[in-house]
Amino acid sequence: LLVLYGSQTGTAEEMAVHGSSRLALAGAAPICKSLSECSLQSLQQAEAAVFVVSTTGDGEAPLTMRRFWMTLRKRDLDQACLANLSYAVYGCGDSSYPKFNAVARRLDIRLQALGAKRLCDVVLGDEQS
């Protein structure tokens, strides 16, 4: 199980590390790392992944996620290249911004387009509540 985060201010990273610790206590053996350290090949080899991502600026991906996001958006990717992956997405957001959790929403759509299977609905965390 991969727990991957894209964080600008550290909130998504903190949540991913905490979630990984909880999974480890429950008997899982998660690997927690930044999306800046994740390649498409490592994602293709994984059976399951949890993505914890924030949205910055005007709906942009955080710096630690940008290279990974550019790789996922390549038009020449095989549309089934992530068919063996099951995933969940948790967005760290703030509903006072117009593009609330835009990165989490886009990531979910792209993962599905590449054949990955969603484990649950996207969770859109809101700092306002």
Distance from C-alpha of 106 to C-alpha of 61, rounded to nearest angstrom? 10
Q: Which domain holds residue 115?
A: 2-126
Q: What is the pTM of this model?
A: 0.95
- What CATH number is attached to the domain comprising 62? 3.40.50.360
The mean pLDDT of 76-82, rounded to a whole number, is 96
**Confidence tier at 35 by pLDDT (50, 70, 90):** very high
Q: Count the helices and strands in the chain (H runs, E runs).
A: 4, 6
- What percent of the chain clears pLDDT 90, i.e. is strictly above it? 91
Count of the separate structural domains present in the chain: 1
Task: Assign 3-state DSSP to the chain and report helix, strand, coil percentages, each to 5.
Answer: 35, 25, 40
What three-state secondary structure class fits 13?
helix
Mean pLDDT of the chain: 95
Total residue length of the chain: 129
What's the pLDDT at 124? Answer: 95
**Confidence tier at 58 by pLDDT (50, 70, 90):** confident
What's the pLDDT at 126? Answer: 92
DSSP class of 36: G
- What percent of the chain clears pLDDT 70, i.e. is strictly above it? 100
Evaluated on CA atoms 24, 27, 28, 29, the torsion sign reads positive
